[in-house]
Amino acid sequence: MKKLASFFSIFALFLVLIMPQNAAAATTYNAGASSPSTIYAYSLNQWSGQGVWDLSNVSSIPDTAVVTGAKLNWNICTTCGMTYSTTAVALFIQSGAGDWMDSGFYNYKFAGQPVKQKWSTQFQASKFNSSGYIQPVLTLLWEDSASAKSGAFMLSESPNGALLEEADLVELVGLTSIEMEE
């Protein structure tokens, strides 16, 4: 037991002294629930309404801050017949580009995007009764070189490294059109 405790002590010391860039994490910003906090869909396999986070004027985020990772957590309406395996959720940046999100996992394809912009989410489900809903919460990891806040070690390259345009998301799920609310 003493050897195990010694190992962890030495490892922690190594992280702090030898690799100082790993001793600090990127700043985490919990943007909270979307507006509206509950997003509804009324047709199967069609895009839901939009949930929005407008971070454009949040004074606690530096203007030059960029995302290193984005995470959505959401609840679904299980009493409506929805399941996580039949519900697909996407996160979009202000330009309309976005990517599919798994609830509770960071997506690093948003790396380098400005934090201070309008973020939105929509979902589609292939299974629910008369309507379905999700309740999403957005969390962003960010860094800002101008204020010397760091956390770039958390950045990892995704397999294809690019965000998808709205039309590409539609093609991936076999829909012929996408309706985005302004």
- Compute the distance between CA of residue 48 and CA of residue 64 in angstroms, rounded to an integer: 32
Strand partners, 138: 32, 72
What confidence score (pLDDT) does residue 163 get? 60
Q: How open is the CA angle 81-85-91, to the nearest 5 degrees?
A: 105
Task: Grade residue 60 by pLDDT with cuts at 50, 70 and 90.
Answer: confident
What confidence score (pLDDT) does residue 9 get? 57
Q: Taking residues 65-77, what's their average pLDDT?
A: 94
pLDDT digits (tens, 9 = 90+) for 14-41: 444 443 333 334 688 888 999 999 999 9
Q: How open is the CA angle 74-108-72, to the nearest 5 degrees?
A: 10
DSSP labels, 28-55: EEEEEE-BSSSEEE-STTS----EEEE-
Percentage of the chain with pLDDT > 90? 57
pLDDT digits (tens, 9 = 90+) for 115-154: 999 999 999 999 998 899 999 999 999 998 887 654 322 2
Task: Grade residue 166 by pLDDT with cuts at 50, 70 and 90.
Answer: low
CATH numeric code, 25-173: 2.60.120.260
Q: Where are the domains of the chain?
A: 25-173
Between 174 and 110, the more confident residue is: 110
Question: Is 175's pLDDT higher than 80?
Answer: no
* Sign of torsion over alpha carbons 33, 111, 99, 102: negative
Cα 177 to Cα 35, 97, 101: the distances in Å are 24, 15, 20
**Tokens 């017949």 label which residue?**
81
Question: Is 7's pLDDT higher than 70?
Answer: no
